[in-house]
Amino acid sequence: MRARHKLARRKPARLPPFDALFLDRDGTLVVERGFLGDPKDIRLAPGAAARLRVFARAGTALYIVTNQSGLARGFLTREQVDAVNAEVVRRYAARGVPFAGVLVCPHHPEGAVGSLRRRCRCRKPGTLLHERALRARGLSARRSAVVGDKWDDVGAGVALGAATAHVLTGHGRRERPLVLVRAPDAILATTLADALDQLLSRAPRGRPPRRSA
């Protein structure tokens, strides 16, 4: 026991509840607004920042993963998407929540912009963006979690073997029947704050074993 303590002394006292948390943007981290192109239209999900802070302090790497087909469709410019992402990151950072990365798929198979009109492996439920982030930091998919309002989000989590949570905000209610059929084990949450509370309570290695007196 003593030796193990010595070896582990550089590690935080509490092990992180998850290696990584992959959060959908629209309808999950921010209130759904269709093709969101103006930072002024950003509204953060109520109560989420306080919970995300708990994950961040425990050492969980937080990522935004977002399908932005508005780019392929020609509804949004890269500058608009980047400006919105930067503002979402800034607002969460101001509340003590640091994001490790914002992962964007700009593609769509039926897009109008030639260079972005294609099938890709990064559009959720594809997992390329998640996998790249995990690999870059040597993190485990099985000790990670994915949260979103659509099957696309949950489906990526299922493919990764991560914990999954489906929120009923955004398109969540419309998507609920599909998620229920395809991923019956996904956590059902009314809001992102609720999803984060439930994930914290079932974290794979959240709590150190209780010591007997």
> How many C-beta atoms surround the C-beta of residue 163 within 10 A?
22
Query: Binding pattern to Zn ion, positions 110-149, x when CB under 5 A?
Result: ----------x-xx--------------------------
Residue 154 touches Zn ion, criterion: CB under 5 A: no
- Choose the contact partner of 26 out of Mg ion, Zn ion, none; CB within 5 to 8 A by kind: Mg ion
| 120/183 with CB nearer Zn ion | 120
| 101/172 with CB nearer Mg ion | 172
> Is there a catalytic annotation at residue 194?
no
- Choose the contact partner of 143 out of Mg ion, Zn ion, none; CB within 5 to 8 A by kind: none
- Choose the contact partner of 130 out of Mg ion, Zn ion, none; CB within 5 to 8 A by kind: none
> Is there a catalytic annotation at residue 24?
yes
| 120/188 with CB nearer Zn ion | 120
Report in angstroms how near the CB of residue 123 gets to Mg ion at its nearest: 13
Which residues are designated catalytic?
24, 26
